[in-house]
């Protein structure tokens, strides 16, 4: 494995990479540069010349990389991965920026169309790497190019759902939701034209807000109906009692009956007390 990695990636190392790997190796060996040089099969003088060296031979790169892999395989591979990712971002930024500048400078619709197609192809093919490092830059450039395409009357290809990050989709849903409450039609237009959401993305979103609003309206209507029906029922009961011809007499009879019961209870209680006292 070490030999495979050494042969495949040693040529990609810069002078700075060689120095960093060697310094890391010396640190792991107790800050012993002489021992690190011996592990690499190099003279001590050669390692000190790297500070001002403009070029490091491929053979030297291989020796340092292989020694570093033997001493700490995972740390060395992780370093290579980080440097590879950084270089990939730099290359992507350079390619996209160059295409962007060329597209803005050209006055030819046909030439612009070709450049835009190349720009979008690279952006889509490397969307994962772009999102991890230069997403904002790439998004701004893409937006400006799409605006110019619109000005030139060049039809744009529909965006895919994969062109949007999770954060972008969340923000888009929030914006659509705020608009939908006020104006559903405007929300649909905004989602389609301003946000450039593809049909397979904005239709379910709009449908969801439509169902939510319908459910809320239905719930509100039900609550209002309950209150109205309760008030109506109470009014009907009052009307029924008021409409009874003998309503007042019924109340009088009930009061008289209550007075009789209370009176009898009082007399029985008094008689009981007298009997008990005697």
Do residues 235 and 269 both lie within one domain?
no
Contacts for 84 with CB less than 8 Å, ≥ 6 apart: 12
Do residues 207 and 234 both lie within one domain?
yes
Domain boundary among 22, 39, 71: 71
Domain boundary among 37, 71, 105: 71
Domain limits for position 271 = 244-278
Do residues 215 and 261 both lie within one domain?
no
pLDDT of residue 175: 78
Residue 251 has pLDDT above 70, yes or no: no
Query: Would you call 41 helix, strand, or coil by DSSP?
Result: coil
Q: How far apart are CA 30 and CA 238, in angstroms?
A: 98
Do residues 229 and 250 both lie within one domain?
no
79 in a domain, yes or no? no
Do residues 143 and 100 both lie within one domain?
yes
80 in a domain, yes or no? no
Do residues 204 and 275 both lie within one domain?
no
Domain count along the chain: 4
C-beta of residue 107 within 8 angstroms of C-beta of residue 148: no
Quote the distance between the C-alpha of residue 7 and its chain's center. Answer: 41
Q: Which residues of 25-41 are buried (b: 16+ CB within 10 A; e: fewer)?
A: bbeeeeeebeebbebbe
- Among 153, 162, 23, smallest CA distance to 79 is for 23
Do residues 148 and 172 both lie within one domain?
no
66 in a domain, yes or no? yes
27 in a domain, yes or no? yes
Residue 237 has pLDDT above 60, yes or no: no
Quote the distance between the C-alpha of residue 270 and its chain's center. Answer: 84
Residue 264 has pLDDT above 60, yes or no: no
77 in a domain, yes or no? no
Do residues 33 and 96 both lie within one domain?
no
Do residues 231 and 179 both lie within one domain?
yes
Residue, of 219 and 144, whose pLDDT is higher: 144
81 in a domain, yes or no? no
Do residues 253 and 226 both lie within one domain?
no
Residue 227 has pLDDT above 60, yes or no: no
260 in a domain, yes or no? yes
| Percent of the chain at pLDDT exceeding 90 | 12
pLDDT of residue 151: 85
CA 202, 206, 212, 215 torsion: positive or negative? negative
Q: How far apart are CA 256 and CA 277, in angstroms?
A: 32
């Amino acid at each position: 494995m070490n030999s495979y990695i050494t042969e495949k990636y040693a040529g990609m190392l810069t002078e700075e990479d060689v120095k960093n790997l060697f310094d890391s190796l010396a640190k792991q060996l107790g800050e012993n540069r002489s021992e690190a040089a011996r592990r690499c099969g190099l003279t001590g003088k050669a390692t000190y010349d790297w500070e001002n060296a403009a070029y490091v031979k491929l053979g030297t790169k291989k020796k340092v990389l292989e020694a570093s892999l033997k001493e700490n395989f995972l740390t060395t591979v992780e370093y290579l991965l980080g440097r590879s990712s950084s270089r990939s971002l730099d290359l992507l930024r350079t390619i996209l920026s160059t295409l962007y500048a060329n597209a803005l400078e050209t006055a030819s619709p046909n030439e612009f169309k070709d450049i835009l197609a190349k720009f979008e192809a690279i952006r889509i093919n490397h969307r994962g790497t772009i999102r991890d490092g230069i997403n904002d830059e790439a998004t701004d450039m893409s937006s400006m190019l799409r605006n110019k395409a619109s000005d030139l009357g060049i039809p744009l290809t529909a965006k895919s759902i994969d062109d949007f990050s999770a954060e972008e989709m969340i923000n888009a849903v929030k914006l659509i939701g705020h608009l939908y409450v006020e104006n559903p039609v405007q929300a649909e237009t905004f989602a389609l034209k301003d946000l450039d959401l593809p049909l397979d993305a904005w239709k379910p979103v709009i449908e969801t807000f439509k169902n939510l609003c319908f459910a809320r309206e239905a719930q509100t209507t039900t609550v209002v109906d309950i209150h109205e029906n309760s008030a109506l029922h109470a009014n009907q009961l009052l009307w029924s009692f008021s409409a009874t011809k003998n309503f007042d007499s019924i109340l009088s009879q009930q009061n008289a009956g209550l007075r009789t019961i209370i009176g009898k209870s009082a007399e029985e209680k008094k008689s009981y007390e007298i009997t008990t006292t005697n």
